[in-house]
Amino acid sequence: MEDYVLSVRAVRSGVFVAEVGPSKFLVVPAGQSPTPAHAITQAAWYKVVRAAAAWQNHQGEPRGDLLFIVHGYNMNVDDVMQRHRRLKEDLLALGFKGVIVSFDWPSDDKTLAYLPDRHRAKETAFRLVSDGIAYLSAEQTPACTINIHVLGHSTGAYVIREAFDDADDKQLANMSWNVSQVLFAAGDISADSMATGDSETESLYRHCIRLTNYSSRYDQALDLSNVKRLGISPRVGRVGLPGAAPPKAVNVDCTAYYEKLADAGTGIAAQDQPNGFPGIPSHSWYFGNKTFTRDLFGVLIGEDRTLIPTRQVLPDGWIVLEKP
């Protein structure tokens, strides 16, 4: 099965590198790494992606779902595709009928490249909307409306936030664009910025129906030592959404679940993480994890936030992730 990628990496000597380049629209054969040779025309790419996103319900009515994945920092193209394919396989196994597309911004595969990566993330973020979301939204027809969703991991959350903000600032011709679900996992943006009325996230909330944030206080990549070292405020992927977040935003606290997952004595990892942990386990366990993927699937198909079977609602209303 082919994979779809919107790449904004530059090309050097026939390979993608960690520099900003023109948008390329890729159709990647199964099992292969993305290369510039996989690029097709923009118009042709939109056509095949729309076709892949479409499905019919039990009444034969046309439907569609498209999930953009936006990766984090310290990722090369092989890392991006590995996680893309892992999540795709797991979602399809649950019955997801739409298509998954990776937005591959020019991250470098170097741990110390955090700040340069963040600069490139900001520089290219707008194209997630201009060359992806907004165009596909404008191409929808009354006969088949495709629900567009966006999942950002780590710095990917920052890319999404900046993309939405830049799109409003630049006043895209198609100002009616919207997405259904925005999801952050281990989001590397300020928790305080997610409050109602904050100028950094007004556009984000304006253009989505629901925002779901997955957080864990065990996240070592977002822990306080890194926050203090970089001089940034606590991250939403670690401490969760603020109390002043708008009603359309929901936080799913994964702290207690990850504690059990990481405890070899529970045996949960063998069941829920059969392919092992990618990257920094406490930061990237979401990929290949069966409980998280089931929760994600529930969000994508529109299940009530309090009834998704991988969640427990505590007496104070706080939602936690749990193994069903």
Q: Tens digits of per-residue pLDDT, 221-261?
A: 998 656 655 667 899 999 999 999 999 999 999 999 999 99
- On whether the CB atoms of residues 45 and 25 are closer than 8 A, the answer is yes
Q: Tens digits of per-residue pLDDT, 66-105?
A: 999 999 999 999 999 999 999 999 999 999 999 999 999 9
As to burial, measured by CB atoms within 10 angstroms (0-12 exposed, 13-18 middle, 19+ buried), residue 249 is: buried
- 273: Cβ contacts below 8 Å, ≥ 6 apart: 261, 285, 288, 289, 290
- 65: Cβ contacts below 8 Å, ≥ 6 apart: 53, 55, 96, 97, 98, 99, 146, 147, 149, 300
Closest CA to 132 of 25, 212, 51: 25
Look at residue 28 in the predicted model and tell me its pLDDT: 98
3-state SS track over 25-85: EEEECCCCCCCHHHEECHHHHHHHHHHHHEEECCCCCEEEEEEEEECCCCCCHHHHHHHHH
Cα–Cα distance measured from residue 290 to residue 99, given in angstroms and rounded to the nearest whole number: 19
State which residues of the chain have pLDDT below 70: 111-113, 140-144, 172-175, 224-231
Which structure tokens are listed for 14?
């026939």
Cα–Cα distance measured from residue 275 to residue 257, given in angstroms and rounded to the nearest whole number: 18
- The torsion of the CA quartet 286, 290, 295, 296, rounded to 10 degrees, works out to 60
Query: Hey, where are the domains in the chain?
Result: 3-321
Cα–Cα distance measured from residue 304 to residue 179, given in angstroms and rounded to the nearest whole number: 18
Look at residue 117 in the predicted model and tell me its pLDDT: 79
Look at residue 59 in the predicted model and tell me its pLDDT: 80
Which structure tokens are listed for 287?
């990929």
Look at residue 225 in the predicted model and tell me its pLDDT: 55
Sign of torsion, CA 235 236 238 241?
positive
Closest CA to 234 of 195, 188, 200: 188
Give the other-Cβ count within 10 Å of 234's Cβ. Answer: 16
Look at residue 136 in the predicted model and tell me its pLDDT: 86
Look at residue 224 in the predicted model and tell me its pLDDT: 64
Give the other-Cβ count within 10 Å of 250's Cβ. Answer: 16
Q: Which amino acid is at 292?
A: F
Which structure tokens are listed for 213?
């944030």
Look at residue 124 in the predicted model and tell me its pLDDT: 94
